[in-house]
Structure 1
């Protein structure tokens, strides 16, 4: 089913955002800092992907779960969305860990 992977990423991001909102961990406490960290991390990993694609290390496999739209050769549209989700999850996880250790 095309788009299922993107839908799974977006649903997962919504779950992380709900936890972030409930506990005011990252974007709901300091949105500017959070989105800068997500943007910088996403850009870093996109450059990493570009280098991997250029050297032939990364190739896009075939899957019926992808939309089938590519931003560049071997770079599906889902990749930057996933990378942004990964960075957001890392920031929220870090803030949750810091919040937990500070409360002890």
Structure 2
């Protein structure tokens, strides 16, 4: 249960950053939600394929809920993949934000 709580807290932190700077979900909610859903689904399918191939194997832990959404696929994995996708998009859009801001500042400095 602790791992799920940590993942939810991390998702909340990403949402706070996103809300403050309007980087992803708060800038374009429908498109961003679609990207998150597709990205998370893609990685879940990847995990299922890896489980079927015997690459991934779930081990019981007292830190997890024990809820399985598929054979060898714990609930926490879906939240981790959602966090991974959201974090990646926050980092990407944040980098673009900084890049564009630096370009505007540079152009403003050249004009004065």
Q: TM-score if structure 2 supplies the norm length?
A: 0.88
What displacement does 1:69 show?
0.9
Q: Which has the higher contact order (CA 8 A, sep 6+)?
A: 1
Which has the higher mean CA deviation after the structures are superposed, 79-88 or 7-16?
Answer: 79-88
Give 4+ residue runs of structure 1 displaced > 2 Å after superposition.
none
The CA distance in 2 between the partners of 1:46 and 1:68, in whole Å, is 18
Written as runs of structure 1 = structure 2, the 5 A alignment for 1:38-53 is 38-53=36-51
Residue deviations 1:12-48, cap 9 Å, x none? 0100100100111111111111111101100110110
User: Greater share of helix residues, 1 or 2?
Assistant: 2
Q: Which residue of 2 aligns with 1:27?
A: 25
The CA distance in 2 between the partners of 1:96 and 1:40, in whole Å, is 21
Report if the CA contact (8 A) 2:58-2:74 is conserved. Answer: yes
The CA distance in 1 between the partners of 2:91 and 2:32, in whole Å, is 12
Unmatched tracts of structure 2, length 5 or more: 103-112
Equivalent residue in structure 2 for 1:74, among 69, 72, 76: 72
| Cα-Cα RMSD | 0.7
The total of aligned residue pairs comes to: 102
Unmatched tracts of structure 1, length 5 or more: none
